[in-house]
Amino acid sequence: MTDFAAIILAAGKGTRMKSDLHKVLHPIAGKPMLMHLLDSFAGLSPQRTVVVVGDRREQIDAALEGRGITTAMQDPQLGTAHAALQAKDALSGFSGNILICFGDCPMVEAETVRKLTAALDGGAKVAVLGFRPEDPLAYGRIIAQGDGTVVKMVEFKDASETERAVNLCNSGLIVAHSDDMWPLLDAVDNNNAQGEYYLPDVATNAIARGDKVVVVETGADEVAGINSRSELAGAEQRWQAARREQAMADGATLKAPDTVFFSHDTQLGRDVTVEPHVVFGPGVKVANGVHIKAYTHLEGADLATGVQVGPFARLRPGAVLEENSFVGNFVEMKKATLGKGAKASHLSYIGDATVGANANIGAGTITCNYDGYFKYHTTIGERAFIGSNSALVAPVTIGADAIVAAGSTVSRDVGAGELRMVRAEQLVKQGWADRFHDTMKKKKAAAKKDGPSKDP
């Protein structure tokens, strides 16, 4: 493949999003749409990538820090062709194919770009990406011959009735070799109603000078632009639907697929069962044979083979469940490891902790890991038994085979094999309850006899 560079246009204000966050940084499946595009292009090994910025440049610069990607400023904003020209200095000395695309079209795939660049090998000077939406609306039209040679590109407002009847639309993506791209961009003028320099005129001018321009087609979803919260939700919906199908194709069972939500980096093994209303946040790895029950939320968690989780469980970043361990309903884990075969069946918080193999965490157990200033660690040994409603005040270690009696507050280490019982002595007052009930019954009867209170 010829050397490749990408120019991503992201200088627009994104006013329809009505957000303080730059439009291209709004996430799909937990990843900013710009990063979806960049990660896709990474498979093409671009020599250079330039993101053209404008409004809220600092946000994009911060998001791109450390990625080796250049930004170029467009100010003032005079149209898409003008925006692309702002990358010229950053691509000085580069010789190869240049793709120009939009940061708010995040689902463009590397294979589609390969097809675009390959189209230049047949003698074309410019390749454009077209699509056929269900409703062409006011998209610009591509008038092409049967072999894909473009005869004309026309904006909807300038199209004739015959041209508007064509459903091949312009996505805006365009590829040309640098030797052709820069002269064609320089030749674009602003002789139009808006007084702007439009990117499609690169192809129009190429046709006018006798160059061959070809169109490559793709699906409408791949090039759908995102300009509003509604369109963002639509893109999320399409991404999730595709990811669910992929999960099932890879051997996972989704009981109610439409209610399961994945992150961009969710990893699922084979024979995983996911019940309804499960949400995967970023950083979740699930091994083979795991069962995730309904209404469970996972983020930054690592689940080994044979693990069961939920229902109504929450696994936060740093949660590690080793083979055949079990977390039940209303259990929350954070930065904690549950050893092989260990169980926390219900109503517990396990934070900043290591739980040994085959240990049992009783209902209502809490690792008290925070003193308002610092976090502390709790270590629970193998086969230890923590009774219900226990509070383990970190830092504390519970030894192997130790038992913590129900209702205990443990603030000192418990040795291996010990029983630790921390309870106040029970006080018994014979007959007290009977006398109390008699007294209160008499008061209530007297109140009824005297009638309603006359207090103001």
Tell me the three state secondary structure of residue 239. helix
Tell me the three state secondary structure of residue 222. helix
Per-residue pLDDT at 450: 76
Low-confidence ranges of the chain (pLDDT < 70): 1, 452-456
Per-residue pLDDT at 157: 83
Residue 349 annotated as part of some ligand binding site: yes
Q: What is the mean pLDDT of the chain?
A: 94
Tell me the three state secondary structure of residue 330. strand
Amino acid at residue number 413: D
Q: Locate the DSSP E strands across 258-310.
A: 267-268, 273-274, 279-280, 285-286, 291-292, 297-298, 302-303, 308-309
Residue 170 annotated as part of some ligand binding site: yes
d(C-alpha 328, C-alpha 261), whole Å: 20
- pTM summary value: 0.88
Per-residue pLDDT at 388: 97
Residue 155 annotated as part of some ligand binding site: yes
Integer CA distances (angstroms), 319 to 136, 267, 315, 335, 349, in order: 48, 15, 6, 5, 12
Instruction: Encode pLDDT of 434-449 as tens digits.
Output: 999 999 999 999 988 8
Residue 358 annotated as part of some ligand binding site: no
d(C-alpha 197, C-alpha 357), whole Å: 67
Positions annotated as catalytic residues are 346
Residue 262 · residue 272 · CB < 8 Å: no
Residue 80 annotated as part of some ligand binding site: yes
Domains and CATH numbers, the chain: 4-223 (3.90.550.10), 232-420 (2.160.10.10)
Residue 313 annotated as part of some ligand binding site: no
Length of the chain: 456
Residue 453 annotated as part of some ligand binding site: no
Instruction: Encode pLDDT of 216-261 as tens digits.
Output: 999 999 999 999 999 999 999 999 999 999 999 999 999 999 999 9
Residue 190 annotated as part of some ligand binding site: no
